[in-house]
Amino acid sequence: MEDILELLEQNARISLEDLARLTGKPKKDIEKAIKGYEKKGVIVKYKAVIDKNKIVGEKGVFAIIEVQVMPQKDVGFDAVAERVYKFPEVRSCYLLSGTYDLLLIVEGKDINTVANFVSEKLAPLSSVKGTTTHFMLKKYKEDGVVLIKRDKNKRLAITY
C-alpha cells in the first residue's frame, strides 16, 4: 500500500504537513493524492475507533454470526449478501471460504435484540440454510488498536 494510505489508516487526523514530512513529498502532491483516492473510492470513510465499554450507558451487544446460504442463480452470493447487509443491525458482512459462506458482525442493544434479529429477520430468508451465533464477551483489539491497557508491574515482586 502506498505510504500516504498507510499513514492515514493509522491516523486519519494526521495533518498534511506531517504527511509531507513523513513521506518526503510536497504538501500539494499529498493533498492531490488524497482527493484522488477519495474520488476513486479508495478512501471510503474516515473513522474513529471508539471503545464503547468506556462510555456510561452505551453497553451494546456484539455478535459474530456465521451464515450458510444458498447462492442465487446467475448472481451467486452477492444478491444474498446485499439483502443481509442492508439490515441496520449488520455492522460488517464478509464472504468466506469454508463451512460458512457469510460472516456478520451484528450489534444490538441487548442479547434479545440480536436473538430477535437472527430468528425474525435473518433465519427466515429463503436463501439462508443455517446460522451460528457467537456473542462477543470482551474486545481486546479493534482495527489494529489495542483497547485494553494493562498496568505494568501491578503485582508485587516476589522475593526470597
The structural domains of the chain, with segments of one domain joined by +, span: 3-40, 53-139
Spatial neighbors of 128 by CB under 8 A, at least 6 apart, are 67, 68, 69, 70, 80, 122
Cβ-based burial of 23 (10 A; exposed 0-12, middle 13-18, buried ≥19): middle
> Residue 31 in 3-state DSSP?
helix
- Phi, psi angles (nearest 5°) of residue 142: -140, 130
Give the C-alpha separation, 7 to 20, whole Å.
Answer: 11
DSSP category for residue 77: T
Output the CATH code of domain 53-139: 3.30.70.920
How many CA atoms lie within 13 Å of 46's alpha carbon, on the beta-carbon side?
10
Residue type, 125: L
Alpha-helical (H) ranges within the chain are 3-10, 16-23, 27-40, 78-85, 111-116
pTM score, whole prediction? 0.75
pLDDT tens, N- to C-terminus, the chain (160 residues): 589 999 998 889 999 999 999 999 999 999 999 999 999 999 998 888 777 767 766 678 999 999 999 988 888 899 999 999 999 999 999 999 999 999 999 999 999 999 999 999 999 999 999 999 999 998 888 888 888 877 666 666 677 7
Give the C-alpha separation, 16 to 57, whole Å.
Answer: 36
- Residue 38 has which C-alpha cell? 477519495
If residue 128 lies in a helix (H) or strand (E), which one and from where to where? strand 128-135
